[in-house]
Chains A and B, each alone.
Chain A
Amino acid sequence: MKIVCVCACTSGIAHTYLAKAKLEKAATELGDEIHIETQGTIGTENALTPEQIAEADVALLAVDIATTGNERFKNIPTVKVGTSLVVKAPKKLLKKIEEEIKERKSKKE
């Protein structure tokens, strides 16, 4: 599964980056490809490219606040969760998303 993701927490100091690191680890273990943009106190880092978004199966918004640029994901399935869920159970979350994406695809066909 190819995932584009935005992480952002309330104060943009710690949870954003913890969530990013946890997701990257979980994705590697599950064989998923993930690109993560962070929107924190420091500003936006690792901004997603249009190519990454175009190729993605799903957009994951791991956010506790309103983030900018969500219109970029209007053409792909989007899942929104809080950062605490990501920190708590990243692998479980990615597995669940994968199941849902498969289900959506099979319904379309």
Chain B
Amino acid sequence: MTEKEIDITKVINPNLIDLHLNGKTKEDVIEELSRLLQKDDDITDIQKFVDDVFNREEEGETGIGQGVAIPHGKSKAVKNTMIAIGLSDHPIPWETLDDQPVTAVILFAVRDQDADTLHLKLLQKVAILLSDDTFIKKLHAATNKDSVIKLLYANRGDD
């Protein structure tokens, strides 16, 4: 299976992880994570990107339950298809499938015309990991950036 050999660090790096989000609202948190993407030089126009993420939010809830939300924007403002991950010590109100607030937010930034199969495949892999209760528990419990990245590497249940 070649998919397992793909390097997840092509879509995530320590600069794109915040273990203690400050934001108290969905808007604040999306901006906070978008700033990480901007600093990492993955988006060109933060306002345009945030707008596109909110356009997607209007189409349906991105809270998937178990305290996790996966907002995403396919946007012309995205330079590199990447993800940013934020964990929070306080609950953040969000539209979710279980009507509970979230404490983990994974923001997907996708280039508007992404012909880059590799990066999209990596995002798929992250989405698939989120179907696993154990992964979600470990994500919530992560205390350092390395362990978050290691979690994303593991999809064989043998980490």
| Chain A interface residues (CB < 8 Å from chain B) | 10-11, 13-18, 20-22, 25, 40-42, 64, 82, 84, 87-88
Using a CB-CB cutoff of 8 Å, which residues 94-152 of chain B contact chain A? 97-98, 108, 110, 114, 117, 120-121, 123-124, 126-128, 130-132
Picked from B65, B74, B126, B132, the residue with its CB within 8 Å of the CB of A11 is: B74
A18 touches B127 (CB 8 A): yes
Q: Tell me whether B61 is interfacial, beta carbon within 8 Å.
A: yes
Please list the 8 inter-chain residue pairs (A to B) with the smallest Cβ-Cβ separation, ordered nearest first: A21-B131, A17-B127, A14-B127, A21-B128, A88-B97, A42-B120, A17-B124, A18-B127
Q: In the bound complex, how far is the Cα of B123 from the Cα of A66, in angstroms?
A: 22
A17-B60 contact, Cβ under 8 Å, with A88-B97, A88-B98? no
Picked from A15, A25, A88, the residue with its CB within 8 Å of the CB of B127 is: A15
Please report whether the interface of chain B is mostly helix, strand, loop or mixed according to DSSP: mixed
Please report whether the interface of chain A is mostly helix, strand, loop or mixed according to DSSP: helix
The number of chain B residues with a CB under 8 A from chain A is 25
B64 touches A18 (CB 8 A): yes
In the complex, per-residue mask of B59-77: 1 if CB is within 8 Å of any chain A CB, else 0: 1110011000010101000
| Chain B interface residues (CB < 8 Å from chain A) | 56, 59-61, 64-65, 70, 72, 74, 97-98, 108, 110, 114, 117, 120-121, 123-124, 126-128, 130-132
Q: How far is the CB of A30 from chain B (nearest CB, A)?
A: 15
